Amino acid sequence: MSKIAKLLSVIIVTAVAIFPFKALSGDFKSLNLQSNDIECVSCALNIKNNVSKITGVKKVEVSASAKKIHLEYDGDMVSENQIMQRIKSLGFKIEKIK
């Protein structure tokens, strides 16, 4: 391998390590949910941590005191139903609000 090829390999690997990203297409949507099952900060963090891992989810805000969840997501990468199913799988009953 030539010196230039080795250098390019190092640059590419370094760039990927320094600048990881999710490719989002731009069809951003928002979703507002309510759950009376959110009883504490631990519940809110559980939802936030799990839903944030879904590819295409851009933002998750959970309020334990208001018992509400606000999400922003890329509709081309994940559906509203997939997000809601993930939350339900954590044991929370939810309903969509405006």
CATH 3.20.20.70 is held by the domain 23-97: no
User: Residues 28-66: pLDDT tens digits?
Assistant: 999 999 999 999 999 999 999 999 999 999 999 999 999
Taking the C-alpha atoms of residue 22 and residue 43, their distance in angstroms, rounded to an integer, is 26
Q: What is the pLDDT of residue 24?
A: 47
Paired strand residues for 95: 34
Query: What are the strands, taking DSSP E only, across the chain?
Result: 28-34, 57-63, 68-74, 95-97
User: Residues 9-28: pLDDT tens digits?
Assistant: 656 655 555 555 555 456 79
Taking the C-alpha atoms of residue 84 and residue 13, their distance in angstroms, rounded to an integer, is 36
> Pairing between strand 28-34 and 95-97?
antiparallel
Domain boundaries, the chain: 23-97
